[in-house]
Amino acid sequence: MAKKVVVGMSGGVDSSVAAYLLIKEGYEVIGLFMRNWDSMLNNDIEGNPNLGNNICPQEQDYNDALAVCEKLGIPLYRVDFIKEYWDNVFTYFLDELKKGRTPNPDLMCNKYIKFDSFIKEARKLGADYIATGHYARIKGCKLYRGIDSNKDQSYFLAQLAPDQLKDVLFPVGDLKKEEVREIAESLDLITAKKKDSTGICFIGERNYQKFIQNYLKPNPGDIINVDTLEVIGKHSGLMNYTIGQRRNVGVSGFQYKHFVVGKNVKDNILYVAFGDDPETLYSDECIIDNVNFISPNHPAFCTAKFRYRGPDNEVMLEYLDNNEIRVRYPQKVKAVTPGQACVLYLGEQCLGSGIIKEVRKNNEKLWYL
């Protein structure tokens, strides 16, 4: 009797091909579409819910997933995780912004929704395994990077517990993105040429600042030159900025490039530094909390990514109390940002991650963060 796999169908090309590959391998495949956000909440300040479209993106994704499942001859179920998403992902996102941090909601979505609520729902459907279209690989219960280094998504899975990876399949993890699209095109799937979704899922193509204003009241304040401590402009609210940002900062009339280098939430100050590559943007260590290890291996030396698209950095780890780690990188790293994930790797294996709590240089916490 064929093993049953429930595939998370997102309406994108990756999950479409994942479902096909599992059918090809002889599994009994069932599709499950997750509705994680109430599209009625997507009204922007001007009251335009769909930005001029006749159908909201989430409904279009469902329709695409349904068309793919019909083409492949498999059933598609639909489940609402709106409350779970609000409680565990969106509330976390807002709370982090209030603290002046830059959160990554995708990690929490994977931890609490796609590999928790989804798995529970899949078990109700009799699943022996669950599968998604993530570009990652599993060996045993260990997590590895996807073959396609440009699309690898192990970074976003690094807050998962080992038990959450049990009975999980990543069918496209051994493929390049172009191979996935070629398979979809050969099957004439509606998602074959569909553009990949980017940015924060519940914001989509909307203006970030206008969306956030629906939930957090704007609180303008001073922009200060971190070197001279002069007030050089006004910011629109600290939640609208992140460390390393150089576009739309709100500083005009200056000849040189300028970057956001810090925030003072208590005094509502945004700090900016000038120059092509200001030294103020660099740190040599950080403290991470909410540490989660997927691997039983807890090394003293490994590499770390401080942003999804960031490079691998050689780091030294010092294990502290309260499930915190001191991560040192004497070579210095640019724009390490509180609230972002620090994901640890040993070669191709993803060991786990923590959330950046504070950033330091020369044994001192950076006072402007």
Collapsing DSSP to helix, strand or coil, 4 comes out as strand
Q: How many CB atoms lie within 10 A of CB 125?
A: 14
Beta bridge partners, 143, equal 138, 350
Examine the residue annotation and report whether 141 is marked as an active-site residue of this protein: no
Q: Which one from 109, 286, 342, 350 is the annotated catalytic residue? A: 109
DSSP secondary structure letters along 137-188: EEETTEEEE-S-TTT--GGGGTT--GGGGTTEE-TTTTS-HHHHHHHHHHTT
Examine the residue annotation and report whether 342 is marked as an active-site residue of this protein: no
**CA distance linking residue 137 with residue 133, whole number of Å:** 11
Residue appearing with tokens 């349904």: 66
**CA distance linking residue 18 with residue 153, whole number of Å:** 15
- Amino acid identity at 108: M
Q: Which one from 56, 69, 141, 201 is the annotated catalytic residue? A: 201
Beta bridge partners, 47, equal none
For 284, residues 6+ apart whose C-beta sits below 8 A from its C-beta are 328, 329, 330, 331, 332, 333, 360, 361, 362
Q: Give CA separation, 192 vs 18, 57, 74, 124, 207, in Å.
A: 12, 17, 18, 30, 28
Query: Pairing relation of β-strands 349-361 and 282-293?
Result: antiparallel
Q: Which residues are catalytic?
A: 109, 201
